[in-house]
Amino acid sequence: MIQSKKIPITVIMIGILFMNGNGDVGSETDSPRLLFEEAQEEIYRLSFDKAYGFLSKITERYPDSSYGEKAIILKNVISLGQTFSNLRLCSAYNRGRSLYKREEKTADSLSPLTLLESHGLEYLRRTKKWAKRLDSDIKESAKISQEIELSLRYPGKEELPYFIKVGIDTIETIKKGIPPTPSQAQNIEEFEGYAGVLSAVYLCIQKESELPQKTTLINGKVIPKLLIYYSNLWINKVFILLRVKKYTKTNGLEIFQGRHLTI
């Protein structure tokens, strides 16, 4: 006859906690604090799409946590910076393309006009994607009244690719109608994304913008109304590009209506 062994009640309770998705122990690897820290690390790596994803998880799963409002504001800062940088890239490729006559377009996928058009369409798609996110983020930020303290570790210019540091791979080349090589296009995109989010942070904490030479710690309080103001300013530029200009003003802030961004 097999004798049963009694299992201590503490072991049973610990097991239940691990199996329960809502328990603190079982959800520790997906806590709002850890998600926020992951987002900060992705920002340092200039992986803004990944950072935005981590912050979205906080606002969806833990809206009432102490990181809820911080996540909303930081999401808005990222979407503002990325809308700004992708719009600049889209406009640069459009300007470069305008220097060519339409009849110069050939079936050659590597012709200057074809390359410029292809890149321009890709950045237009990304601009729409980020503007759609920005539109949503503005509405969330509008619910926050108090200033939100942010602290971000951000890479310096010395940590960017060599051809960015020496000023060779720049957006100005594209505006002259010279299509970049794949590596040049990647470098230019990386710098524009880097500078776009950095500028958005400095604008919203009211500090003078600068390109740090080495890794820096940016501290400051984001003023929601200021963030909303600049967000509306840049989303309006996207609507002008898409020939959508309908807006109204409420309390001195531009609040847009009838926004339908199709990606």
The predicted structure's pLDDT at residue 244: 53
What is the chain's mean pLDDT, rounded? 84
pLDDT digits (tens, 9 = 90+) for 227-259: 999 999 999 999 888 775 444 343 333 433 434
Q: 128-167 pLDDT, tens per residue?
A: 999 999 999 999 999 999 999 999 999 999 999 999 999 9
pLDDT higher than 80, residue 186: yes
Confidence category of residue 107, pLDDT binned at 50, 70, 90: low
pTM of the model: 0.81
Q: What is the pLDDT of residues 78-102, one digit of tens each?
A: 999 999 999 999 999 999 999 998 7
Q: Of 8-12, 112-116, 137-141, give the lowest mean pLDDT range.
A: 8-12
What are phi and psi for residue 216, nearest 5 degrees?
-130, 155
